[in-house]
Structure 1
Amino acid sequence: MTTTAASEKIGFIGLGLMGHGIAKNIVDKGYALTFLGRKNRAPAEDLLGRGAKEAATSRDVAVASDIVFICVTGSREVESIIRGPGGLKEGLKKGSVVVDCSTSDPTSTVALAAELKALGVDYVDAPLSRTPKEAWEGTLDAMVGASDAVFARLKPVLDTWAGRIVHIGDTGDGHRMKLLNNFISLGYAAIYSEALALAEKVGISPPRFDSVIRNGRMDCGFYQTFMRWTLEGDRDAHKFTIANAFKDLTYLESMAGSAGIANPLGNATKNAFAGAFVAGPDQYVPMLATHIGKVNGVDLTPTKDGKR
């Protein structure tokens, strides 16, 4: 870390499954960190123990920071944090940077960037890929939308929590690429789920199905993570909620509509998650297989010691 980089004061809002690990790595790597606390006190107490400071409002985070990271559910929450009473806009200084690590609607992202630009504040989208495990380890993927100069300023801070950083383009491109990334991954999830249901229906059990796919050409890291629920009952294998998946596919649908492109596979994937969302929004993505099985009269509940 250079002396210039070390002088940057960092703010953080959103100490959820991903945010806690990111914030932990920022403060552990030597940056002064001010965070917004939340009802779940465990992440806040952990960061306080590492030397970070707690703020009462988003405005207070802005006042104390040169660069503010936001890591929340989506655009609705981001807009409230920036524009709402006691929000970031009330405390941001000229020359500050706000970085949205959420998976947000690119239309909202571009609008917020223009709004903050008028105040002399840069707005960057840097959505994430991978899981809370990599967030804690500091090895997340990030796809960043920013100007070259702002990206160069942010890079040392991003390096504290990301193992792979791609400067994908200007502001808005990070969120556009993230929606495309999630379209592919969630499309895989829908295909795996339907394939597992059909396999069980025709007499091929999940372990037998897996014996062919695993280590073959159709295998990949996402497949292996996804299958840990059905094969092992590992609830925490991929802690990305069905609610967030459905939200991201809704954003994808909007982006495709704005671009004037037919997106039938995206809509089919969204519809698969829509039913699961109604049934259990707080479940995680690999549990889609159980839902798709149930809809089709197939029991894909994970087994334990040979029993469901």
Structure 2
Amino acid sequence: MSEIGFLGLGIMGRGMVRNLLKAGHEVTAWNRTKRDLPADLAKARVCSTVAEAVAGKKLVIVSLTGPDAQHDVLEGENGLFAVAENGATIVDTTTTDPALAADLAAQAGKRGLRYLDAPVFGSRNEAWEGKLDFICGGERATFDAVKPILESMAATVHYLGASGKGAAAKLVGNLLVAAQMVSLGEALSIARKAGLEPDALMGYLDVTDFSSGLIRGVGRASLKGDFAPNFYLKHMLKDARLIGAFARSLGVSAPASGMAAELYQGALNKGYGELNASALHKLQFELSGVEEKQAAGN
């Protein structure tokens, strides 16, 4: 078993730490703000500084909200790169800009560290149950060395290539998620305006060849008006913006990412940032004139 430093105890980080502990690893953790942790994380030692959390650790796992947090936590005189043990491996699960991921890998290498960009697919439940999908970029030897530990938190673990490739593949997948979330919201708005009965509607959407886990799970929750956060809407907006910027950097026409970002911005402006990413549907229902019907059904 390993001694692991863990930075970031948000929705995803707490789930990952839970499964590392279940697998028998010792975890020393840090978070930028103080959090009350569930009983399942009682064996983790929570530290007040990054340096304390990673002291003596040959493996550090990072779970942050995006590029701004990465700059704050990884770089600078008190950042992870400055205080990590020489030769340590850093597995960064943050969804970020692929160019930044490659740059962070280069910075880490100059300091004698190994860096793997390893963003994940999944939300609160998948993180808690150890069923995340890891999408990794970096040196193959580094990936092979940490894969067994990643598997203790994962349903699947994938190697995509050099540094930045994991981050790039994550944005590819997130575009599919964002586009499906938008189209599902439009479809549910039409269905509700047409007076379709929710259970009958989901009964056939469950089994069609175009169905998906998102349609089956999020569809039911949105029809019930359940937008409890498993993955914050504000973070989905961040991801949509990253997708658009990445597409532009490649010269790729990706209008769907732009539409998704603007809709998510509108939902954020309505005050839905702390709700689930599916709260986009709350905005779409309102735009379609079905908000009162939803409220009456709660």
Same fold (TM over 0.5): yes
Letter in 2 for 1:26: L
Corresponding position of 1:262? 253
Aligned match of 1:43:
37
CA gap of 1:162–1:211, structure 2 versus 1, over 3 A, is: closer
- Percent identical pairs in the alignment equals 28
Distance of 2:200 and 2:77 partners within structure 1: 56
For residues 286-308 of structure 1, the C-alpha deviation after alignment (integer angstroms, 9 at most, x for no partner) is 221121121232227646xx734
Report the alpha carbon displacement of residue 170 of structure 1 after superposing the two structures with TM.
Answer: 1.7
Distance, in Å, in 2 between the alignment partners of 1:44 and 1:228 is 27
Give the Cα separation in 2 of the matches to 1:197 and 1:139.
31
Q: Deviations over 1:262-306 (max 9, x none)?
A: 111111222221211211211212221121121232227646xx7
| Distance change (3 Å), C-alpha of 1:307 and 1:163 | closer
- Alignment match, 1:307: 297
Q: Is the 8 A contact 2:178 2:257 kept in 1?
A: no
Match status 1:82 vs 2:77: no
Runs of 4+ residues deviating >6 angstroms? none
Name the CA distance, whole Å, in 1 between partners of 2:158 and 2:142: 14
Note the 1:102-121 alignment, pairs <5 A.
102-121=94-113
- One-letter code aligned to 1:25: N
Residues 243, 257 of structure 2: 8 Å contact kept: yes
SS in 2 for 1:33: strand
Moved more, 141-150 or 88-97: 88-97
Distance 1:301 1:116 in 2: 53
Amino acid aligned to 1:12: F
SS at match of 1:30: coil
Match of 2:119 in 1: 127
Match of 1:62 among 19, 44, 54: 54
Distance in 2, Cα, partners of 1:300 & 1:149: 56
Hey, what's the Cα distance between the residues in 2 that align with 1:299 and 1:54?
Answer: 43
For 1:125-174, what per-residue CA distance to the aligned partner results, in whole angstroms no more than 9, with x for missing partners? 11111222221221211111121110111112112111211112122111
Q: Which residue of 2 aligns with 1:30?
A: 24
Cα distance between partner residues in 1 of 2:158 and 2:97: 19
Summarize the Cα distance change of 1:58–1:45 in structure 2 as closer, same or farther, 3 Å threshold. Answer: farther
Deviation at 1:93, TM superposition (A): 2.5
Do 1:290 and 1:301's aligned partners in 2 also have CA atoms closer than 8 Å?
no
**RMSD of equivalent CA atoms:** 2.1
Aligned to 1:223: 215
State the TM-score, normalized to the length of structure 2: 0.92
Paired residues of 1:44 and 1:54 also in contact (CA < 8 A)? no
Equivalent residue for 1:180, pick from 164, 168, 172: 172
After superposition, the C-alpha distances for 1:97-135 in whole angstroms (9 at most, x for unaligned) are 111111111121111111111111111111111222221
In structure 1, the residue matched to 2:234 is 243
**1:159-196 CA distances to partner (integer Å, 9 max, x unpaired)?**
21112111121221111111111110111110011122
Instruction: Please say if residues 143 and 174 of structure 1, whose CA atoms lie closer than 8 Å, have aligned partners that are also in contact.
Output: yes
* Counterparts in 2 of 1:57 and 1:298: CA distance versus 1, 3 Å: same
Q: Partner letter of residue 223 of structure 1?
A: I
Pairwise CA distance, 1:14? 0.7
For 2:273, what is the secondary structure of its paired residue?
Answer: coil
Q: 1:15 aligns with which of 9, 14, 25?
A: 9
Q: Point out the more displaced range, 260-269 or 55-64.
A: 55-64
CA contact (8 A) 1:151 1:167 kept: yes
Q: Match of 2:161, as an amino acid?
A: G
Q: In the alignment, what sits opposite 1:290?
A: 282
Distance 1:136 1:33, change over 3 A: same
- Contact in 2 for aligned 1:38/1:44 (Cα 8 Å): no
Give how far 1:23 is off: 1.0
Paired AA for residue 245 in structure 1? M
Instruction: Indicate the SS of the match to 2:36.
Output: helix
Distance 1:232 1:293 in 2: 12
Count of residue correspondences: 297
Note the C-alpha offset of 1:206.
Answer: 4.3
> Could you say if the C-alpha distance between residues 89 and 272 of structure 1 is closer, same or farther in structure 2, counting changes exceeding 3 Å?
same
Q: Which residue identity lines up with residue 135 of structure 1 in the other structure? A: A
Matched, 1:277 2:277: no
| Counterpart among 91, 99, 103 of residue 99 in structure 1 | 91
Ranges in structure 2 where 5+ consecutive residues have no aligned partner:
none
